[in-house]
Structure 1
Amino acid sequence: MAMSTGGSGGGPMAEINVTPLVDVMLVLLIIFMITAPLMSHKIQINLPQANPNTIDTNPPEPIDLAVKENGDLYMNDEPVTSAILEAQLRVAAQKNPQPELQIRAEKTTQYQKVAEVMAAAKRAGMVKIGFLTTGGDQ
């Protein structure tokens, strides 16, 4: 810190020594100039190409599965048991393309019941599973 000699102020005068700052900035500049070209190496990846002839313009109807609070199951608004559900999901899993299973559970339904339905869908071979919600109050 430099001291004022004479003059009108009479108090200490603070001067910032910028030499270390400039040294550090020059070192960082040199480091970034050397490392920047090394970081822009290219990686070749083979991206899949879309074939417009294979796109299905008529996707299958999704399977709507409602799980009520008491555990009752309704597949496409028809009551089903868990054994019938699993059999119908096995049939649906064999279709090409496979329809999506859309699970719609009430807000008060226990998760265990939904987990059992998802396990049954997995055992049946379903790979497209979605969840539907209602736009009610949160």
Structure 2
Amino acid sequence: MQGPYNPKGRGKPMAEINVVPFIDVMLVLLVIFMITAPMLTQGVQVELPQVSSEPIETPEDLDPIIISVESAGTYHISMGEDTTAVSLDDMAERVMAILQRRPETPVMVRGDKQVPYGEIVVLMSTLQRSGVANVGLISEPPQDG
């Protein structure tokens, strides 16, 4: 009688898993993600002023709210990977809503160097009315030579 338990050892179910195809797929995915990750940086193209300054210490577990002002005067709000064009009033409401949920979230301003100083002052005043206690200004280090 031949059944699942053959005493001679033939016909035993194989208890090993072949992991070579799994490793091949994972290596292909790793290469794909390594190539596409640098292309995923989103944001608004802003020509930042170049000054030498000390970096701002931010908690590593919190994504800062980044408000960008383009040279045309349009506002963009970024939180993590999401970037949205907004009006000044909508931006104030969004920042207020985020700060009500997480009051320790840092707020940074990226202003194009062509934007008039008055626009940045209006933005910072609006942020202050929204409940932002401290605002960081983002710049680029100067290029030597």
State the TM-score, normalized to the length of structure 1: 0.53
User: Greater relative contact order (Cα 8 A, min sep 6): structure 1 or 2?
Assistant: 2
Distance in 2 separating the partners of 1:134 and 1:85? 24
Q: Secondary structure at the match of 1:108?
A: coil
| Percent pairwise identity | 17
Which of 82, 92, 100 pairs up with 1:86? 92
Partner of 1:128: 134
- 1:106 paired to 2:108: no
Q: Secondary structure at the match of 2:101?
A: coil
- Which of the two has higher C-alpha Rg? 1
Q: What number of residue pairs does the alignment pair up?
A: 82
Alignment map for 1:62-73 (pairs within 5 Å): 62-73=64-75
Distance in 1 separating the partners of 2:75 and 2:118? 14
Gaps spanning 5+ residues in structure 2: where? Answer: 1-58
Show CA shifts across 1:6-64 (max 9, x none): xxxxxxxxxxxxxxxxxxxxxxxxxxxxxxxxxxxxxxxxxxxxxxxxxxx76421001
Could you tell me which amino acid in structure 2 is paired with residue 102 of structure 1?
M
Q: Secondary structure at the match of 1:87?
A: helix
Distance in 2 separating the partners of 1:118 and 1:86? 10
State the TM-score, normalized to the length of structure 2: 0.50
Distance in 2 separating the partners of 1:137 and 1:107? 15
Give the superposed CA RMSD: 2.1
Asked if the contact 1:60–1:97 (Cα under 8 Å) also holds between the matched residues in 2, the reply is no
Alignment map for 1:44-83 (pairs within 5 Å): 59-76=61-78, 77-83=83-89
**1:137 CA drift (Å):** 5.2
**1:68 CA drift (Å):** 1.1
